[in-house]
Structure 1
Amino acid sequence: MKLQEIHSEAGAHIKSWNKVPRGAVGENVKETVVSNGDVMVRPVLKFEVVSARTVDQDNEKKHVAYTVMIRKDGLQPDPNPAVIERRYTDFLELYESLRREFPAQMARVTFPKKVLMGNFAPGVISRRSAGFESLLEHVTTEEKLRESKILAMFLQGREEHEARQWMEAQRYDQAIPLLENCFRLLNKLHTDRHPTVMLALCRLVACCSADPTATSAEHFADIALRRYEAVCDIDLLQFYVPLLQLCVRLWWSVGRDKRPLEARLEDLKRRGVKVDGCPTLLEALMAMDHL
């Protein structure tokens, strides 16, 4: 695969937002809960259109690209917000697809109408931004909508596709920012051990470990190991042995004690789990992506 064939706009946009000061965008949104006389703060998921830019390129029809920041704020602003950039037609497809598949849950949802002229006027952009935020906040409060493949494709399909292309080209340094953004985003939407979150985390660990310049492999590998302690999804367990084996090599390279991980692998082997001759975590994930 030629590197110039890979669409890199999503990755470049995500990298540009890495420099935004955390907590400097929008308001600190939180829900206060009183339990047994104690005041607790429950983090609240927030979608905010933080910028809009006009795209006028030779190979694309002129349009407005909206940057949506996804945060989960509590007592302090979310230190790791995620960002996506989408255009009006992307939001429209999300809305129409959800209405077709989940008419009851979408019955009362309105969507900004198309206009014949004035798509680039500040007033139109402002109204559309508010409509997009309301749509996403509604979708994520309804379980059926939140768990739908339609929403998953809207939120991460473009970035995940590009990351896979970079992985095929062995440009893991380019895939990592995309995969980390996907992981952060999905982890705000779902529980820590949700299958889509765990899969995104495994991809991130595999890429960080394959890139000699990455400094976060150990950090994300630690997170993955802790979360796997309570995972029972059979489809995810296929990655557990490769993850352990990756961590054994990683722990050794950074001077950490790898014996507990080796003992865990030996225990799995005694219980009849295949340990020897397994593909690496990266190989297992890429094989799954090609099915």
Structure 2
Amino acid sequence: MNDKTDNLLNGGQDLENLVLGEEPDTRLEQGTLSFSETPGARSEASAHIKSWSKVKRGVISNHNSTEENEADDAAIFAEPVLKFEIVSARTVEKENEKKHVAYTLMIRKDGVQPDPNPAVIERRYTDFLELYDGLRRNFPALMTGIPFPRKVLTGNLNPSLISARSSGFEVLLEHIGRETQLRESAALMNFLQNREEAEARHWMQAQQYDQAVPLLENIFRLLNKLYTDRHPAVLLALCRLVACSHAAGESARPERFADLALHRYEAVSDIDLLRFYVPLLQLCVRLWWALGRDKRPLEARLDDLRRRGIKVDGCPSLLDAITEFDCKK
């Protein structure tokens, strides 16, 4: 029985720190935009995500002066700041596809120190353009005066143009991060996760769950930086991760994230999200039993839901419930 984690289940922030503090170290050298002109087929997103853990880490310096220490003390009480940065770009050449540039976007939530585990995705110019056009179409007043890097007929692989476009993309994303309506928009949600989610669903349909897990974990950690703990998109991404990692035959990862999901589901009343709560509890009962943890508190929750008239018996598995939900989208 895992007493430490069982106790943390009632421990709110301690549980958050335990799980999210264990995320893979993907710190990138900050402030260095690099360009790769080596042609080659675009690596699969899951393999590309795994490769980020090998990138040289940024160095967080220690301050000794009185002025710097006073500034650090003041920063402790400041709200974490959402940051977007294009950290690299590479040219991609695939068969039957025009040569293009892929931009690596790092999303951080900096507090007292820079975020040690930023989320990273790769996008091309057309992805940023689709985001910009969608926001300008649906929120014209909020997008007034926000520029966007222009299209060019030739020279789009030129390093100077790539650098200028990267700066323009950062300005756009920083603006989105400051505006609640833009941050909650479907256009941004699609930009952040659609490509990785589509690939993950492909692997899940092929029952190659181990290939889908890195993609789903990256989506969850990214959305977790932009939205609240109990935001529908964050909870859905978390449930997907739990279900898929459990189907992949893992134990440590689904246990950690299942603990987190159970905690975050407390006080949730959104009917679309509650459809996953019973399957989540039932998965955890089986997982807890396999790990030698006390499953009785979870069974008690299910009994309570049953007494309140909520369907408990005959429910689909968490993986099936999510698959059905995705098919209806």
Given the two structures, how large is their TM-score scaled by the length of structure 1?
A: 0.90
Q: For residues 79 and 268 of structure 2, what CA distance do their matches in structure 1 show?
A: 24
* Residues 75, 112 of structure 2: 8 Å contact kept: no
Q: For residues 53 and 251 of structure 2, what CA distance do their matches in structure 1 show?
A: 16
* Residues 66, 85 of structure 1: 8 Å contact kept: yes
Q: Which amino acid is 2:45 matched to?
A: A
More strand by share: 1
Q: Which amino acid is 1:157 matched to?
A: N
Cα deviation for residue 214 of structure 1 reads: 5.4
> Equivalences for 1:1-291 in 2 at 5 Å?
9-20=44-55, 23-24=58-59, 40-213=77-250, 215-291=252-328
Residues 144-177 of structure 1, C-alpha deviations (whole Å, 9 max, x = no match): 1111111111110111111111111111101111
Q: For residues 207 and 251 of structure 1, what CA distance do their matches in structure 2 show?
A: 17
The alignment-based identity, stated in percent, is 70
Q: For residues 24 and 157 of structure 1, what CA distance do their matches in structure 2 show?
A: 32
* Residues 208, 215 of structure 1: 8 Å contact kept: no
Residues 196-238 of structure 1, C-alpha deviations (whole Å, 9 max, x = no match): 1000000000011111145311000000000001211111001
Q: Give ranges in structure 2 of 5+ residues lacking alignment.
A: 1-41, 61-70
Q: For residues 97 and 251 of structure 2, what CA distance do their matches in structure 1 show?
A: 34
Number of matched pairs: 277
- Of 212-221 and 229-238, more deviation after overlay is shown by 212-221
Q: Give ranges in structure 1 of 5+ residues lacking alignment.
A: 1-6, 26-31
Assess, with a 3 A threshold, how the Cα gap between structure 1 residues 8 and 124 changes in structure 2: closer, same or farther. closer
Residues 4-54 of structure 1, C-alpha deviations (whole Å, 9 max, x = no match): xxx9722222121133355559xxxxxx899xx995132111111111001
* Residues 229, 264 of structure 2: 8 Å contact kept: yes
* Residues 209, 245 of structure 2: 8 Å contact kept: yes
Given the two structures, how large is their TM-score scaled by the length of structure 2?
A: 0.80
Query: Runs of at least 4 residues of structure 1 off by over 6 A?
Result: none
* Residues 72, 81 of structure 1: 8 Å contact kept: yes
* Residues 47, 71 of structure 1: 8 Å contact kept: yes
RMSD: 2.0
Q: For residues 269 and 80 of structure 1, what CA distance do their matches in structure 2 show?
A: 40
Residues 64-113 of structure 1, C-alpha deviations (whole Å, 9 max, x = no match): 11000111111233233211111111111111121111110001100111
